[in-house]
Amino acid sequence: MDHDHAREREMQCIQEWPPACTATCPVHVDARGMIASIVKGDYAAAFAIFHKAVPFPSIISRICNHPCQVACKRIEVGEAIMINALEKACADYSERPARKKSFVSKKDKRVAVIGAGLSGLTAAFDLASKGYMIEIFEAKERIGGRVRDSDERILSRQAIDDDLSVLEIVGVTIHCNSQVSNNGGIPFGSILEGFDAIYLGPGPVSIESLRLDLALNPDGHIEIAPTTYATSDNKVFSGGSHRYSPSRYSPISSMSDGRLAAVSIDRFLQGASLTAGRDLEGSYKTKLYTSTKGIEPLHAVPMADRTKGYTQEEAANEARRCLNCQCLECVKVCEYLAHYGSYPKRYVREIYNNDSIIMGMHQSNCMVNTCALCSLCETVCPVSLNMADICLDARQSMVKKGKMPPSAHDFALRDMAFSNSEAFLLSRHQPGFSTSKSIFYPGCQLSASSPGQVAKAYGYLRQNISGGVGLMLGCCGAPAEWAGEKDLMEKTMGAFAKEWRQMGSPRIITACSSCYRVFKDFLKDAEVETLWSILAVHQLPQSEQKTMSKEFAVHDTCSTRYDESIQDNIRCILGKLGVQVTELNDNRHLTTCCSYGGLMSFANSEVAEKVVRRRIGESDIDYVTYCAMCRDNFSARGKRALHILDLIWAPDERDPAARKGPGFSDRHENRAKLKTQLLREVWEEKVADEEKALELYIDTEMRVLMEKRMILAEDVQKVISHAESTGEKIIDSATGHLIAHYKPVSVTYWVEYATHGSGFTIHNTYSHRMELIEGTTK
């Protein structure tokens, strides 16, 4: 994985952007965090959050012009959260800890602050907190500026004095009745000479009358550089309400001006860049997306007494209206992303770290291998971040470095190898044709799950499609792609392509969405269609339907989530069948994986279970799918589900919607039998019966265990064959059972069995990958 690429993806995730209230607030009060603490009744924590951004909390909590509330997402569903009133509740209901004296080391630089309004006081506080020697020059007899013009009933003089007393604690020297001007009072020139830097916050006075030798703009205000607050004199910085017309007085903007000018002064005095990395200072627009879909609209909680503000109970109720803005759009729809308790920004970092680690444990291997690669995250993400790309990239990298856990995909890849072995592999022109205009490629899983339907569908195609419809059986290579086995995928596709070209490069008609996706992505020159587009335009066979439910909810396949025409074809077929279609909430491009995709169910059965349970819980109506794996995964958990072909060619079962799909062993057998059946019935070829396999007696309980342990009947047969032919077996005298083991390739299988007539009863089976070094110490 490329570091820059990973970094880029990580940055793409917007979840860690602040909520709109915080981004809009010029000093970035973490209102979301503050409100969360109020909900918990923890006013001390809430106040601490507020105070961290605001040095004068009593003042701001009473007179802030709260631009945050204009940006509040709650407006979309009710009214904005009364953030300022909640700030006041924090200031009122928290016991304020006594401010400790700062132990910041003193700096030898002196800064003069001219004007003791909110901007000057904030600049003074921030710079003093950094250790600078600060002197304030205020023309009036008291500091506070316009704050002192506030309505006493809203902001008491005592509260102002309490807030401003902090300046003394941080060691600021205050000179009141000290007008600085070149027009009487202390000459500006002497301040320029006596200090290393100056902050000028003169408030709403006539700047011209002060004659400060600074460049003015056409409005008669001091010319101030945006971002840096620098003036025409490089040691003088300026901000505050004099910049604006009196009607636009904004206490919080004044405070922000003082703070940001102080940042510039600090940088100036340290010889650092005044402009670097300041993009997100002051008020800005956040990239955080928050959906308000489905949220109950709520009005603001009223105050019993407006002059006193919220009671604690009212404040708690108001705080509970906060949406706690998050994005998490992908996490909300994906059990896999939710399972690991975080979100893609963190996941991308973890996956990248997992990939680049040289020594130590690869903690995120399982997470990387669990993703269904279904791309639903990308579909719902406001910035289209796709975890599937990231996980697939990581898997490919693991395989390349030899770091892919051997057990992760071994079983699925052996299943694929079986499908691409002589047992199933087949390509034939239609009987009576020497060329094929089309071929039918049913896919390995439909063939495993519903071989009878495949045979019928092929018959239908031969009858309805002209120019010869050949047949190709095999596996398209999707498991190799999902496993990150790039070379194996290419080899598999190469072998298919060679065979397909020998068939004359015919149009491919597939009945599997994964095959469809693979051919579209890896065999660019092929014309690929689904069986569904054929069935949608041709007359359907005479319905063989038995008494089946007529209402179904359609489950769309995840691998064709963006192929609207396929989804339309399915609905068209269902319409022709007279089925009443119910749409699931998350349908078409928003559909979810059944847990087979990306080999999730092999890598992490716990998450796979959550994924499939969530999907089947969406509706009580029977589902209809057009992917055999989806149907089998649903029915395995007791969800009634049909494959669409079950509606066209009714299976023999009395209640096919309740049919459990075949186990892993039977899937192999069904594929092999399908090939034999078609060769005999369609091509009238003589096919020798398979060598009679050992007769095994496996009860239901044992079959369930074998499925869970991913042990096939053919593995058990190999063990017994080996034991019986070599005599290498153990007898348990307590039970009389025989115990044997055998390692065909990389897994050692153990079988406990007993003879049963000419066959064998299986009492237990298990496996391990660890190798036994036997017979070494005779």
Partner 1 sequence: MSGEKNLLPEPKLTCEKCKIQMSLGKVTVSYLGSEFPIELLRCPSCGTVFVPEELATGKMLQVEQALEDK
Q: Torsion-angle region of residue 71: left (phi > 0), alpha (psi -120 to 50) or beta?
A: alpha
Q: Which is nearer to partner 1, 478 or 740 (CB)?
A: 740
Out of 280, 383, 693, 772, the residue judged to bind partner 1 by CB under 8 A: 772
Stretch that binds partner 1, among 18-26, 322-330, 611-619, 722-730 (CB under 8 A): 722-730
The nearest distance, CB 725 to partner 1, in angstroms, is 12
In a 3-state reduction of DSSP, which class is residue 248? Answer: helix
Is 652 within 8 Å of 636 (Cβ atoms)? no
As a whole number of angstroms, the distance between CA 38 and CA 312 comes to 9
- Which residue matches tokens 């009744």? 41
362 is a site residue for partner 1 (CB under 8 A): yes
| Cβ within 8 Å of residue 616, ≥6 positions away | 623, 634, 637, 639
Q: Which of 152, 213, 690, 728 binds partner 1 (CB under 8 A)?
A: 728
Buried-exposed string 314-344: b where 16+ CB fall within 10 A, e elsewhere: bbbbbbebbbebbbbbbbebbbbbbbbeebb
Query: In the set 731, 744, 755, 756, which binds partner 1 (CB under 8 A)?
Result: 731
Quote the least distance from Cβ 404 to partner 1, whole Å.
9
Query: Shortest Cβ distance from residue 770 to partner 1 (Å)?
Result: 5
- Residue corresponding to tokens 């770091």: 403
Q: Which is nearer to partner 1, 98 or 770 (CB)?
A: 770
Judged by CB under 8 A, does residue 395 bind partner 1? Answer: no
Torsion on CA atoms 399, 401, 406, 408, rounded to nearest 10: -50
Q: Are 123 and 151 in contact (CB under 8 A)?
A: no
Residues of this chain, 695-714, that bind partner 1 according to CB under 8 A: 709
Q: Cα(421)–Cα(414) distance, rounded to whole angstroms?
A: 10
Please give the Cα distance from 97 to 99 (Å, whole number): 6
Number of residues interacting with partner 1: please give it, by CB under 8 A. 39
Q: Are 595 and 608 in contact (CB under 8 A)?
A: yes
Q: Which stretch binds partner 1 (CB under 8 A): 209-217, 554-562, 577-585, 724-732?
A: 724-732
Report the length, in residues, of the chain: 778
Nearer to partner 1, 273 or 746 (CB): 746
Neighbours of 680 (CB within 10 A): 12
By beta-carbon proximity to partner 1, the closer residue of 98 and 358 is 358
Give bridge partners of residue 623 from the DSSP assignment.
Answer: 553, 641
Among 270, 324, 407, 463, binds partner 1 (CB under 8 A): 407
Look up residue 27 and give its two tokens.
Answer: 């000093």
Instruction: For the CB of residue 708, give the shortest distance to partner 1 in the complex, in Å.
Output: 10
Measured CA distances, 608 to 598, 617, 637 (Å): 11, 14, 12
Restricting to residues 82-121, name those near partner 1 by CB under 8 A: none
| End-to-end alpha carbon distance in the chain | 49
Per-residue contact flags (x/-) with partner 1 for residues 738 to 757, judged by CB under 8 A: xx-x------x-x-------
Minimum gap (Å) between residue 593 Cβ and partner 1: 24
Taking CB under 8 A as the rule, which mask of x and - marks residues 308-347 in contact with partner 1? ----------------------------------------
In whole angstroms, what separates CA 107 from the centre of its chain?
Answer: 47
Q: Which of 21-29, 404-412, 445-453, 600-608 is the region at the interface with partner 1 (rule: CB under 8 A)?
A: 404-412
Which position among 101, 153, 306, 778 is part of the footprint of partner 1 (CB under 8 A)? 778
- Closest approach, Cβ 748 to partner 1, in A, equals 8
Taking the least distance from each CB to partner 1, the nearer of 376 and 723 is 723
Q: Give the whole-angstrom CA distance, residue 240 versus residue 201.
A: 6
Q: How far is the CB of 660 from partner 1 (least distance, A)?
A: 25
* Contact in structure between 62 and 150 (CB atoms under 8 Å): yes
In the complex, least distance from residue 606 CB atom to partner 1, rounded to whole angstroms: 14
Among 363, 384, 543, 755, binds partner 1 (CB under 8 A): 363
Tell me the residue type at 776: T
What is the closest distance, in whole angstroms, from the C-beta atom of residue 406 to partner 1 in the complex? 6
Q: Decide: is 218 part of the binding site for partner 1 (CB under 8 A).
A: no
Reported as type and span, the H/E element at residue 29 is none
| One-letter identity of residue 364 | S
Of 765, 767, 764, 756, nearest to 697 (Cα)? 756
Give Cα separations from 250 to 118, 242, 588, 643 (angstroms).
Answer: 10, 11, 50, 65
Residue 714 CB, nearest approach to partner 1 (Å): 20
- Which residues have a Cβ under 8 Å from the Cβ of 365 and sit 6 or more positions away? 354, 398, 403, 404, 405, 408
Near partner 1 by CB under 8 A: residue from 365, 450, 601, 665: 365
Kindly write out the interface string for residues 446-485 of this chain, putting x where it contacts partner 1 by CB under 8 A and - elsewhere.
----------------------------------------
- Residue range at the interface with partner 1 (CB under 8 A); choices 91-99, 116-124, 577-585, 769-777: 769-777
- Can you tell me whether residue 569 is helix, strand or coil? helix
Q: Does 687 bind partner 1 (CB under 8 A)?
A: no
Q: Which of residues 270-289 bind partner 1 (CB under 8 A)?
A: none
- Among positions 651-680, residues that touch partner 1 (CB under 8 A) are none
Which residues 408-447 are close enough to bind partner 1 by CB under 8 A? 408
Residue 681 CB contacts under 8 Å (≥ 6 apart), including other chains: 455
**Among positions 67, 405, 504, 541, the unique one binding partner 1 when judged by CB under 8 A:** 405
For residues 274 and 366, which CB has a smaller minimum distance to partner 1 in the complex? 366
From candidates 226, 734, 757, 758, binder to partner 1 by CB under 8 A: 734
Q: Check binding of 732 to partner 1 (CB under 8 A).
A: yes
* DSSP classification of residue 186: B
- Residue labelled with tokens 């039977």: 666
Question: Residue from 244, 289, 697, 766 that binds partner 1 (CB under 8 A)?
Answer: 766
Judged by CB under 8 A, which of 4, 727, 745, 757 binds partner 1?
Answer: 727
Q: Which stretch binds partner 1 (CB under 8 A): 168-176, 267-275, 401-409, 446-454?
A: 401-409
Assign 642 to helix, strand or coil: strand
Asked if 91 contacts 117 with a C-beta cutoff of 8 angstroms, the reply is no
* Residue number with CB closer to partner 1 (276 or 770): 770
| Residue 775 near partner 1 by CB under 8 A | yes
**Spatial contact of 351 and 367, defined as CB atoms under 8 Å apart:** yes
User: Which of 406, 431, 467, 575 is close enough to bind partner 1 by CB under 8 A?
Assistant: 406
Per DSSP, which regions of 330-483 are E strands? 426-428, 438-441, 469-473
Checking DSSP bridges between strand 580-583 and strand 551-554, what pairing results, if any? parallel
- Contact positions toward partner 1, by CB under 8 A? 360-363, 365-366, 405-408, 709, 726-734, 738-739, 741, 748, 750, 764, 766-778
